[in-house]
Amino acid sequence: MPSEEEQQPLLSGFESNARISELKSVEIEEFFEHKPVAIRWWPRLVAWESRLLWVLSGSSIVVSVFNYMLSFVTLTFTGHLGSVELAGASIASVGIQGLAYGIMLGMASAVQTVCGQAYGANRQASMGVICQRAIVLHLGAAVLLTFLYWYSGAFLKAIGQSESIAEQGQIFARGLIPQLYAFATSCPMQRFLQAQNIVNPLAYMSIGVLLFHILLTWIVVYILDYGLLGAALTLSLSWWILSILNALYILLSPSCKETWTGFSIKAFTGIWPYFKLTIASAVMLCLEIWYSQGLVLISGLLPDPTISLDSISVCMNYLNWDITFILGLAAGTSVRISNELGAGHPKVAKFSVLVVSATSLLISILFSALVMIFRVGLGELFSSDTEVLAAVYNLTPLLAISILLNGIQPILSGVAIGSGWQAVVAYVNLACYYVVGLPIGCVLGFKTSLGVVGIWWGMIIGVLCQTVTLLIITARTNWQSEVEKAIDRVNKSTNEETLELLTSI
Report d(CA 498, CA 505) in Å as an integer: 16
Q: Are 332 and 56 in contact (CB under 8 A)?
A: yes
Residue 287 and residue 103: Cα distance in Å, rounded? 10
Question: d(Cα 321, Cα 370) in Å, to the nearest integer?
Answer: 13
Terminus-to-terminus CA distance in the chain, angstroms?
A: 42
* pLDDT for the residue numbered 206: 92
What CA–CA distance (Å, rounded) separates 189 from 460?
A: 33
Q: 75-89 burial, b for 16+ CB within 10 Å, e for fewer?
A: bbbbbebebbbbbbb
List phi, psi (to 5°) of 208.
-60, -45
**Cα distances (angstroms) measured from residue 151 to each of 3, 146, 147, 290:** 72, 9, 6, 19
Report how far residue 57's alpha carbon sits from residue 59's, in angstroms, rounded to the nearest whole number. Answer: 6
Closest residue by Cα to residue 241 from 216, 205, 215:
205
By residue count, the chain amounts to 505
Q: 147, exposed or middle or buried, with CB in 10 Å at 0-12, 13-18, 19+?
A: exposed
pTM: 0.74
- Give the angle subtended at the CA of 384 by the CAs of 383 and 390, to the nearest 5°: 85
Where are any strands of DSSP class E within 153-195?
Answer: none
**How far, in Å, CA of 439 to CA of 397, rounded?**
22
Cα gap 388→391, rounded to integer Å: 5
Residue 122 and residue 258 in contact, taking contact as beta carbons nearer than 8 Å: no
Calculate what percentage of the chain has a pLDDT beyond 70: 83
- Looking at the predicted structure, is the pLDDT value of residue 352 above 70? yes
Q: At what angle do helices 409-419 and 346-373 cross, to 10 degrees?
A: 150
Tens-place pLDDT, residues 90-136: 778 777 787 787 788 778 877 777 777 777 777 777 788 888 888 88
Residues 53-57, mean pLDDT to the nearest whole number: 80
- The pLDDT, as a whole number, for residue 419 is 66
CB 41 within 8 A of CB 8: yes
Residue of higher predicted confidence among 154 and 244? 244
Q: Among residues of the chain, what percentage have pLDDT more than 90?
A: 11
Is the predicted pLDDT of residue 496 greater than 60, yes or no? Answer: no
The pLDDT of 436-448, averaged and rounded, is 85
The candidate with the shortest Cα–Cα distance to 355, out of 37, 34, 44, 4, is 44
User: What's phi and psi for 470, nearest 5 deg?
Assistant: -65, -35
Amino acid identity, residue 228? Answer: L
- CA proximity to 206, closest of 246, 233, 247: 246
Q: What is the per-residue pLDDT across 205-240, written as a single tens digit (0 to 9) for each?
A: 999 999 999 999 999 988 888 888 898 999 999 999
Residues near 304 by beta carbon (within 8 Å), at least 6 away in sequence: none
**Sign (positive or negative) of CA dihedral 74, 78, 80, 86:** negative
CA distance 342 to 122: 8
Q: Give mean pLDDT, residues 195-204.
A: 86
Comparing CA positions, the residue from 152, 148, 176 lying closest to residue 166 is: 152
Most confident of 33-47, 326-340, 358-372: 358-372
CB atoms within 10 A of CB 405: 17
What's the rounded mean pLDDT across residues 377-398? 76
pLDDT at 505: 38
Query: Given CA atoms 366, 370, 371, 373 in this order, what sign does their dihedral have?
Result: positive
Cβ neighbours of residue 143 under 8 Å, at least 6 residues apart? Answer: none
**What is the rounded average pLDDT of the residues 418-434?**
76
Alpha-carbon distance of 243 to 184, in angstroms, equals 9
Backbone angles phi, psi at 13, to 5 degrees: -90, -5
| pLDDT tier at 17, thresholds 50, 70, 90 | very low
Supply the mean pLDDT for the chain.
78
Which helix (DSSP H) or strand (DSSP E) does residue 410 occupy?
helix 409-419
Q: pLDDT tens digits, residue range 139-174? A: 988 999 999 899 888 888 876 677 888 888 888 889
CB 95 within 8 Å of CB 159: yes
Backbone angles phi, psi at 284, to 5 degrees: -55, -50
Q: Which helix (H) or strand (E) holds 59?
A: helix 42-79
Name which of 396, 401, 366, 364 is nearest 378 in CA terms: 396
Confidence of residue 296 (pLDDT cuts 50, 70, 90): low
Query: For residues 302 and 329, is the Cβ–Cβ distance under 8 A?
Result: no
Task: Give yes or no for residue 350 having a pLDDT over 50.
Answer: yes
Is the CA virtual torsion 407, 409, 412, 413 positive or negative? negative
Question: What's residue 499's pLDDT?
Answer: 40
> Coil, helix or strand for 132?
helix
Q: What are phi and psi of 29, to 5 degrees?
A: -60, -45
According to the model, what pLDDT value does residue 248 have? 94
